[in-house]
Chains A and B, each alone.
Chain A
Amino acid sequence: MREADSAQTALAEITARIPDLMLVDWMMPNVSGLELCRRLRRNQDTAEIPLILLTARGEEDAKITGLEVADDYITKPFSPRELVARLKAILRRTTPKGIEEPVEFDGLRLDPVGQRVSSQGLPLTLSPIEYRLLQLFMTHPERAFSRGQLLDRVWGGDVYVEERTVDVHIRRLRKALGGRHENLIETVRGTGYRFAPLADSDFQAS
């Protein structure tokens, strides 16, 4: 478990490993959970994290205030089953395209349902890691990911892998994408990598 002694430290911890969703207790010492949620919303890296506020405050005004910042609001004591159901509903609503629907760019198509990738209609053979890297990139175009973020999002946080392993898999992915698309994955100096569709091309979910 990680400890934060200030809102700044908490934000740094959260930004270092962006979660898919956060459960935040309103009544926290030093800085309230509500204020933490507000700061998360103001930060470009964390603004889109789905947030659920937990609180013993059940009055209408508190609920309205909470829902102006968070995606849901659950009063204590709560049923764990209901909380899990609400949480999963939010995760379903916030699932980006490319997780359940195909995404395509300039003839490069990723179909998550069939788990297929094709270039100009021809199937590409990717390893599971290469597939997940490409899926993450295609669902977050123009976003720069650090190697640590890629390790966390693609390999999972419980696996120890050296950051340079990311470079190896990026090289393999570029090679697998071939000449037409290999340059879509740009190296961001000092950071990591970014999927960079050409500005004048169509990027669409179909």
Chain B
Amino acid sequence: MNQQPSRRVLIVDDEPAVREMLAVALEMAGLRCAKLTAHRQH
């Protein structure tokens, strides 16, 4: 009856390479990912 949506992890990191690496690792582990980054103010 129950099909749980996978757990959702929010990645908050400004380094694109780190974000992508984390997202790949988490998705391979069956987790859903969302990403949030800070907009740099100049």
Contacts and interface: CB of A to CB of B under 8 A. Distances in A.
Interface in A70-85: 76, 80-81, 83-84
Interface in B4-28: 4-5, 7-15, 18-19, 21-22, 24-26
Contact of A23 (B11, B14, B29): B11
- At the interface, is chain A mostly helix, strand, loop or mixed? mixed
Contacts, number: 113
Contacts of B13: 23-25, 28, 54
Contact of A1 (B2, B24, B36): B36
Nearest to B12: A24
Interface of B is mostly: mixed
Interface residues of B, number: 32
A126 interface: yes
Contacts of B7: 20-21, 91
A13 interface: yes
Interface residues of A, number: 46
Interface of B: 1-5, 7-15, 18-19, 21-22, 24-26, 29, 31-32, 34-41
Interface of A: 1-5, 10, 13-14, 17, 19-25, 27-31, 33, 36, 54, 76, 80-81, 83-84, 87-88, 91, 112, 115-116, 126, 128, 131-132, 135, 153-158
